[in-house]
């Protein structure tokens, strides 16, 4: 690498490192230079660039003068040595050229057009997130979750995002969203600063308002929720929303919808979408927000009763998330058979089309087929799913509001299905099917699911 390449490389590295000056501004005291005040954090990057430019200009002048003196000394002491005279002339020529270049730069930037010496960057204001405000008025910007951080003397929050985007933030006294938890809700008027009690902040969690399902660890939507928009087969293994597992922690549920999508959820007591007692469904096709403040009680909303019968607080281990798409409704069908391999021993199978805008519930003993002289006896052995549908099969008492017995979720993406969508035989190990004990599915819930 020749000298010119080295010099260019050093200059480029210096330019790339310019932003570091502003990062360490609080730790470094820069001396004032003649006609060049020391840069400050308030002035930002342009003041540092201007400061470094003037230092570089001064250093360049000193170096050029030094080389000019060195060349003059070599020339005077050459004593007729042609080689030394040639070297001295080169240094003198280079030094004079350098001084002329520096003089031209100085004249251009300070005399001919002083505005060229003023580096200014447009002020960019953040459009989302929050400012954490210290008691001395200093503001620290955060755009999303942060852990760990080390902030002291925090007295308030100024919200940039409105409530329809950001529901609020959680402040913690320890990293990884641990320690004392303080919930700060986004005010209706984001121009109002909100005072806080947590002065020493070690981590901050943003609760963004997004369509989907929110599982809260306490009743009445208290505590930092786990946000999901897809089914979870084992909440004990989930790592999301700052949680490392969320098994048996859900006590209240909030569903946020956004047209044309309407979300729903089915809760299970065991991993793998299975319950030994109950698997209530919670869904909404008309409300923007559906809230279940406690899973220990049923919640009437309009003409429906959700979480019925109640699954109970801190008992959810898996859940199925489904949705209706009003602009692109689902279509599909579930067909039940009384013989293995999706075949029928007597009569006709029971085929039920899904409702693209709602869940569809029923009891097998309610349906008849053919001329109506015979009734479906509920002895489901196999079934077939076609289209965008899934099914939950239940045993036990057939009446609403009482214990449903065992229940289990089936969908084609879970395995066990043939290519044509046939689930060829219910297995004894599922606990919803045991012919020797007279256990067969008695109820069904059909769900419209995404393709």
CATH number for the domain harbouring residue 186:
2.60.20
CATH of the domain at 418: 2.60.20.10
pLDDT at 334: 93
Assign residue 370 a region: left if phi > 0, alpha if psi is -120 to 50, beta otherwise?
Answer: left
Is residue 248 assigned to a domain?
yes
Could you read off the pLDDT of 247-271 as tens digits, one per residue? 999 999 999 998 888 899 999 999 9
- Yes or no: say if 145 and 156 are a contact pair by the CB < 8 Å rule: no
Domain ends where: 163, 178, 208? Answer: 208
Same domain, 168 and 216: no
Is residue 273 assigned to a domain?
no
pLDDT at 360: 87
pLDDT at 267: 95
Is residue 324 assigned to a domain?
no
Give the domain range for residue 150: 130-208
pLDDT at 337: 92
Same domain, 91 and 30: yes
- Yes or no: say if 229 and 212 are a contact pair by the CB < 8 Å rule: yes
Same domain, 199 and 262: no
CA 439 distance to own-chain centroid = 44
Same domain, 371 and 294: no
Domain ends where: 183, 208, 233? Answer: 208
Same domain, 108 and 143: no
Same domain, 195 and 263: no
Same domain, 249 and 347: no
Same domain, 80 and 155: no
Q: Length of the chain in residues, anyone?
A: 451
Same domain, 99 and 27: yes
The contacts found for 107-113 with CB under 8 angstroms, 24 or more apart, are: none
Same domain, 227 and 305: yes
Could you read off the pLDDT of 183-226 as tens digits, one per residue? 999 999 998 899 999 999 999 999 999 999 999 999 999 999 99
Same domain, 232 and 182: no
Question: Per the structure block, which two tokens stand in for 6?
Answer: 């080295």
Number of folded domains in the chain? 4
pLDDT by 10s per residue, the chain, length 451: 555 445 545 554 554 444 444 444 444 555 655 555 665 554 555 566 666 666 766 776 677 677 777 767 776 777 667 776 777 677 777 767 777 776 776 676 666 555 555 555 566 788 999 999 999 999 999 999 999 999 999 999 999 999 999 999 999 999 999 999 999 999 999 988 999 999 999 999 999 999 999 999 999 999 999 999 999 999 999 988 889 999 999 999 999 998 888 899 999 999 999 998 778 888 866 788 999 999 999 888 766 778 888 899 999 999 999 988 888 888 889 999 989 999 988 778 889 998 888 888 888 764 433 333 345 665 889 999 998 899 999 886 544 444 557 889 999 988 889 999 999 999 876 678 888 877 888 888 999 887 5
Same domain, 253 and 340: no
Question: Per the structure block, which two tokens stand in for 408?
Answer: 């289990």
The C-alpha atoms of residue 32 and residue 25 are separated, in whole angstroms, by 14
């Amino acid at each position: 690498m020749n000298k010119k390449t080295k010099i260019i490389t050093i200059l480029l590295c210096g330019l790339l490192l310019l932003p570091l000056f502003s990062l360490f501004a609080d730790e470094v005291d820069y001396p004032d230079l003649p006609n060049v005040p020391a840069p400050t954090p308030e002035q930002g990057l342009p003041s540092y660039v201007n400061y470094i430019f003037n230092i570089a200009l001064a250093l360049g002048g000193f170096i050029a003068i030094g080389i000019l003196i060195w060349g003059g000394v070599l020339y005077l002491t050459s004593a007729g040595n042609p080689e030394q005279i040639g070297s001295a002339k080169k240094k003198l020529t280079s030094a004079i050229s350098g001084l002329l270049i520096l003089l031209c730069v100085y004249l251009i930037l300070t005399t001919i057009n002083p505005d060229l010496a003023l580096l200014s960057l447009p002020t960019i204001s953040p459009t989302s997130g929050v400012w954490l405000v210290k008691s001395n008025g200093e503001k620290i910007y955060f755009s999303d979750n942060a852990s760990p951080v080390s902030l002291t003397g925090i007295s308030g929050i100024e919200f940039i995002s409105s409530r329809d985007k950001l529901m609020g933030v959680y402040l913690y006294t320890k990293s990884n969203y641990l320690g004392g938890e303080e919930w700060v809700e986004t005010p209706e008027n984001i121009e109002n600063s909100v005072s806080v009690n947590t002065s020493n902040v070690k981590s901050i969690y943003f609760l963004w308002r997004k369509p989907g399902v929110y599982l809260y660890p306490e009743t009445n939507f208290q505590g930092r929720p786990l946000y999901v928009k897809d089914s979870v087969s084992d909440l004990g293994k989930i790592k999301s929303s700052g949680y490392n597992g969320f098994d048996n922690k859900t006590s209240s549920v909030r569903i946020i919808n956004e047209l044309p999508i309407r979300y729903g959820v089915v809760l299970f007591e065991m991993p793998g979408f299975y319950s030994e007692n109950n698997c209530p469904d919670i869904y909404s096709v008309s409300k923007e927000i559906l809230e279940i403040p406690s899973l220990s009680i049923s919640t009437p909303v309009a003409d429906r009763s959700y979480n019925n019968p109640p699954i109970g607080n801190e008992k959810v281990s898996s859940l199925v998330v489904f949705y209706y798409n009003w602009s692109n409704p689902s279509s599909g069908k579930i067909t039940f058979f009384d013989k293995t391999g999706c075949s029928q021993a007597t009569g006709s199978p029971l085929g039920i089309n899904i409702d693209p805008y709602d869940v569809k519930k029923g009891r097998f003993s309610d349906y008849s087929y053919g001329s109506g002289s015979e009734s479906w006896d509920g002895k489901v052995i196999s079934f077939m799913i076609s289209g965008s549908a899934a099914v939950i099969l239940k045993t036990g008492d057939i009446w609403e509001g009482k214990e449903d017995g065992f229940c289990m979720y089936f969908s084609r993406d879970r395995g066990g299905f043939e290519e044509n969508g046939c689930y060829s035989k219910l297995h004894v190990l599922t606990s919803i099917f045991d012919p020797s004990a007279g256990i067969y599915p008695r109820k069904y819930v059909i769900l419209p699911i995404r393709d």
